[in-house]
Chains A and B, each alone.
Chain A
């Protein structure tokens, strides 16, 4: 792991216990393993993109990092300090260094506060001891940094008087006003219209350059993640299956799930031929996770061992980590079929080559 890491996660777990009815006291507790043994680090001034399908644990990781959730196990270090041990003053500082931006700006903007009040609010919370004039300057500067060219026209408006893009810019200004070192952006552009989305993304990239802010950028859209991030982490059901430099993951995907996910992404180019999406079935319930590798029921490469044991993290090349028993083989042969690799004995359809080109295995449906 790099010396420059601003944030480090080591074997982080977050399990949610499900509340059960009173009659079920004899039954063992049920858990959702929302984040299970995840490790990665983020360097200063870099953006780490976190992708994966709905429910795979992206938001939960963000909430753990910002201490909105207490982790079940593992360690999170921010600027060299274990965040679980932070007290009073340090905690306050941590909270201003670590800001969050959400998918729905309504979540972070109080509808009864004006733009000025919203953006100034964290200043009060963090008691930075500024004068009125300084506060006003800080708010105006943050609004300008967030791309509002004429803040004086905006400051007296309420959230419902703003467009979606403007609301998201106010949310960004609110995060910026305390000069954070780190921003967790959870699907910040998913609800925005296409024509304003690019503007908000470019703004975040500019701020990264200008103030060396680091980000976790959560999105389910891999093309957006590619545009935004320096490094990429791919999650599947609480497991971080692959991490590396963004283009490394996209050009040389190793994990069988990453390969399927990337193959399914639509490409805005009519000449692009649809690739085969090598995956079976649907995402299983996060409560009854499959034993062994949690991807095995859908994996085209799975062998008996995948049913029995959890795969360990393998570093296939410098900084490129993959959670799969066959990571080395897959890395060495990016285009070989499971059959050519002698793998996939658990997925008979694929072994027999019954899959038509461009077809997706539908396998067993259901949850």
Chain B
């Protein structure tokens, strides 16, 4: 197993209290596998990604859990007494860039406008590897080839690239050290569908070629349906359901997953009426008691408000955090009238 996140809980301290951003999250990923991490804005996806790459801001507190990477706990050694992360740790830092890399949300705009893209990738290469400028340039050419940017564009400035090209250059940068794991945070959200498809196909090919594992963070379940092996559905800091793509899509065992899928229009097949989820997204400062989804769930009963739902293993293999996961999957769960 490449990545094994165990019971991870992360809070942010703020003026009036705590933001419960990641709650008791466990995830596993093998070499070469792709996990789609989906959920709505503010549910904790980026925070989870940052906990794995150890890029959490100062007000973040690791309340519990472990992040095992290639069998080694990479998180515990860098937690300070108050629960925040050590700022700079050479070992972790080099692990982060050499073994785990991240494509940041909004990365298109993350290049420094005053340096050429080539110079910025060169720096990422040479800061961790003792190579000559020429060797570094060779590597950049290789990477540009891989992501489909002509190498005569290496010495251009960020504003001379289109959005799609900048996004591909970011992917090239994430690949400089042949990482075994890439965390891609909304890698195509700002792009048009044709460019999105192109980038996803390129990432897919690269993964196959180098057996790279990837976590794709997105709010778009259709992107995940077409690219990932596994899916984890997050709501208010918790993973509501996770498992193989086919199982979660076709043998859904969690009411939130069901509602999320039912709100997505499909270009193909029948025109089905979309379902909306009533109510507003939850507060993570005072999350609802019991199951965080209960105020908006069409199946919620009193136990849902009173008790935290257990994580249940389904016969189909996926995990679901719901009191009535088995009944929902079997199709015997009754809707509550409200």
| Nearest B residue to A274, CB-CB | B226
Of the stretches A2-10, A60-68, A262-270, the one at the interface is A262-270
Residues of B within 8 A of A272 (CB): 225-226, 268
Q: Top 8 A-B pairs ranked by shortest CB distance?
A: A199-B276, A195-B277, A198-B274, A198-B276, A266-B222, A268-B222, A53-B192, A227-B265
**A193 on the B face (CB < 8 A):** yes
Check if A213 is an interface residue, CB within 8 A of chain B: no
- Partner of A194 from B225, B246, B260, B296 at Cβ < 8 Å: B260
Interface residues on A, range: 35 or more
The reply to whether B226 and A277 form a contact with Cβ atoms under 8 Å apart is no
Q: Are A195 and B260 in contact (CB under 8 A)?
A: yes
Docked-complex contact A277 and B225, CB < 8 angstroms: no
Q: Is residue B6 within 8 Å, beta carbon to beta carbon, of the partner chain? A: no
Interface set of B (CB-CB < 8 Å, partner A): 40-41, 148-150, 153, 162, 164-165, 192-198, 201, 219-223, 225-226, 245-246, 249-250, 259-269, 271, 273-278, 280-281, 296
B197 touches A266 (CB 8 A): yes
Decide: A365 and B150 in contact? CB cutoff 8 A.
yes
| Per-position binary interface string of chain A over residues 331-367, scored 1 when its CB falls under 8 Å from any chain B CB and 0 otherwise | 0000000000000000000000000001110101111
Chain B, Cβ-Cβ closest to A224 = B265
Instruction: Say how far A161's CB is from chain B's closest CB, in angstroms.
Output: 12
Residues of A within 8 A of B264 (CB): 194, 223, 268
Minimum C-beta distance from A274 to chain B (A): 6
A-chain residues with CB within 8 Å of residue B245 when the two chains form the complex: 270
* CB <8 Å contact, A193 and B266: no
Q: Does the CB pair B164–A282 fall under 8 Å?
A: yes
A173 to chain B, nearest CB (A): 17
The answer on a CB contact under 8 Å between A195 and B268 is no
A-side interface mostly: loop
Which chain B residues border A265 with CB–CB below 8 Å? Answer: 193, 222, 267
- Known contacts A193-B281, A195-B276; A266/B220 CB under 8 A: yes
Asked if A266 meets B226 with Cβ closer than 8 Å, knowing A163-B281, A282-B164, A362-B148, the reply is yes
The reply on A54 being an interface residue by CB < 8 A is yes
Choose one: A223, A279, A358; the contact of B201 (CB below 8 Å): A358
B103 to chain A, nearest CB (A): 18
B265 contact set on A, CB distance < 8 A: 221, 223-224, 226-227
A81 at the interface (CB under 8 A from B): no
Bound complex: CA A268 to CA B272 (Å): 13
Choose one: B150, B162, B195, B259; the contact of A195 (CB below 8 Å). B259
Which of A197, A199, A267, A359 has a CB less than 8 Å from the CB of B225? A267
Expressed in whole angstroms, the minimum distance between the Cβ of A287 and any Cβ of chain B is 14
Contact A367 B162 (CB under 8 A): yes
B276 to A362, Cβ gap below 8 A?
no
Known: A198-B275, A283-B162. 12 other contacts (CB 8 A): A53-B193, A193-B281, A195-B277, A199-B277, A222-B193, A266-B222, A268-B225, A269-B249, A269-B268, A359-B201, A362-B148, A365-B165
What's the nearest-Cβ distance from chain A to residue B25, in Å? 20
Looking at the assembled complex, report how far the CB atom of B123 sits from the nearest CB atom of chain A, in whole angstroms. Answer: 23
User: By the criterion CB–CB under 8 Å, are A277 and B221 in contact?
Assistant: no
Find chain B residues with CB under 8 A from A202 CB.
273-274, 276
Pair A194/B162 contact, Cβ less than 8 Å:
no
In the complex, chain B residues whose CB is within 8 Å of the CB of A292: none
Contact B220 A223 (CB under 8 A): no
A227 touches B277 (CB 8 A): no
Q: How far is the CA of A268 from the CA of B260 in the complex (A)?
A: 11
**Contact assessment for A362 and B267 in the assembled complex, using a CB-CB cutoff below 8 Å:** no
Per the bound structure, the CA–CA distance linking A226 and B245 in Å amounts to: 25
Please give me the residue from chain B that is nearest to A191 by CB atom: B41
- In the complex, the chain B residue whose C-beta lies closest to that of A262 is B267
7 pairs of residues in contact across A and B, judged by CB atoms under 8 Å: A223-B222, A223-B267, A268-B225, A274-B197, A277-B198, A282-B164, A366-B165
Partner of A365 from the list B149, B194, B268 (CB cut-off 8 Å) is B149
A196 within 8 A of B: yes
Residue of A at shortest CB range from B201? A360
Of all chain B residues, the one with the shortest Cβ separation from A247 is B271
Q: Report the nearest B residue to A275, measured CB to CB.
A: B197
Write out the residue numbers on chain A whose beta carbons fall within 8 Å of the beta carbon of B280.
163, 165-166, 196
Q: Of B153, B249, B259, B275, which is within 8 A of A366 by CB?
A: B153
Asked whether A260 is an interface residue with its Cβ less than 8 Å from the other chain, the reply is yes
